[in-house]
Amino acid sequence: MSTSYSGPLPPGSVIGILGGGQLGRMTALAAAGFGYRCHVFTPEADAPATQVCAQTTIADWDDAEALAQFAAACDVVTYEFENIPAAAAALVGRHAILRPDVRVLAICQDRITEKTFLGRIGVPTTRWRAAGDPDALARGVAETGLPAVLKSARLGYDGKGQVALVPGIDLAAAWAETVATGMASAGQPAIVEAWVEFALEISVIVARSAGGDIAAYVPVENQHENHVLRRTIAPAAITQALAAKAEWLAKAIAEALELVGVLAVEMFVGGDGALLVNELAPRPHNSGHWTIDGCAVSQFEQCVRAVAGLPLGPTRRHADAVMENLLGDEIARWPELVADPEVQLHLYGKNEARPGRKMGHFTRLRPCR
């Protein structure tokens, strides 16, 4: 099928979602508001999105027949996380409209490809080098300096797949750890990134429609604990000029990608006010959850609007917000939170609470500053 713009999908159409996590769940809930039905493809039975979707295909990512049948049953397909094998997404794209395009997925799911793309379009990032063996690691460190971070090029999230490189470290041992944990192999290099002394971490959620319209939400501050997002504060406490620059960068990246959907652009704010883009995620993002309660149109509705060919909605906020994740056993706080009149609680329907696992989130709203 053609992936060109062909006008809005009518109510009753089917939106396919690759991935069954909480992002897919919240996207499906937003899609229902337009009368769309969602069909989720996931290898995991009883994944959060399956509980709210009209149809589910449970199969592995390498099941070509299941992927083709899934795609044929959908009017448009999107994804809710970027670690879907690109080959699986490409197969779906041969049978259905896929938004964002598989090219966007391939760029954003590999840190080396992503950093190369950002450098090509003139977007500032931290110093980095690819490292495919101990000698390349040593050369990379010589260019980035220490401290630095050695990361897997693919499949890393929430701090997984990372090794801190500090002065005096045994680089050969660090490389051996990288290989032993599956972060790198002979055919898959890792990436060395210079350590960034930042004042704060921010992100911008930007949307681009099939017709080329573009809109961004206000930059937000993200606070992490043990490499996992703990809370998001909207808006970030930065100057208007810096906020405008962050939005401009996010929009420029979305344009260069020819994105159709939503994109999260994570950035570091240096002590001197300089912005460095850290990572991209071509789907709804944890740091955009506050938009459900703080904006007229959430990031999830915006995603649905973009992939379904609808006009983008307004991104202005009607409240300031602090969103906090419920991790692991913190889900036990739900009776207290649901009884708090100043809290908007969102639970993901996950059966098992593991340490660091995102079980839900809650948001507190305040009048706009």
Is residue 3 a part of any domain in this protein? no
pLDDT at 160: 60
Determine phi and psi for 36, rounding to 5 degrees: -85, 150
Q: Are residues 190 and 208 in the same domain?
A: no
What DSSP designation does 185 have? Answer: B
pLDDT at 156: 59
pLDDT digits (tens, 9 = 90+) for 290-336: 999 999 999 999 999 999 999 999 999 999 999 999 999 999 999 99
| CA–CA distance, 241 with 260 (Å, rounded to integer) | 27
> 132 and 189 in contact (C-beta within 8 Å)?
yes
Q: Which residue, of 144, 178, 194, is where some domain finishes? A: 194
Q: Are residues 288 and 204 in the same domain?
A: yes
**pLDDT over 50 (residue 1):** no
What is the reported pTM?
0.94
Mean pLDDT value across residues 334-343 = 98
Is residue 306 a part of any domain in this protein? yes
| CA–CA distance, 198 with 314 (Å, rounded to integer) | 31
Q: Are residues 142 and 53 in the same domain?
A: no
Is residue 121 a part of any domain in this protein? no
Please give the residue range of the domain that contains residue 211: 198-366
Domain count, the chain: 3
**pLDDT over 90 (residue 152):** no
- Which pair of tokens denotes residue 160? 């997984």
Strand bridging mode 261-270 / 228-234? unpaired
- Which pair of tokens denotes residue 259? 């994105």
Q: Are residues 178 and 312 in the same domain?
A: no
The label of the residue with tokens 């810096």 reads 242
What DSSP designation does 154 have? Answer: B
Alpha helix positions (H), 181-327: 240-257, 291-294, 299-307
Q: Which residue, of 173, 194, 215, is where some domain finishes? A: 194
| CATH code where residue 66 lies | 3.40.50.20
> 346 and 362 in contact (C-beta within 8 Å)?
yes
Strand bridging mode 148-152 / 358-366? unpaired
Q: Are residues 258 and 309 in the same domain?
A: yes
pLDDT digits (tens, 9 = 90+) for 69-109: 999 999 999 999 988 999 999 999 999 999 999 999 999 99
Element (H, E) at 263: strand 261-270
pLDDT digits (tens, 9 = 90+) for 13-59: 999 999 999 999 999 999 999 999 999 999 999 999 999 999 999 99
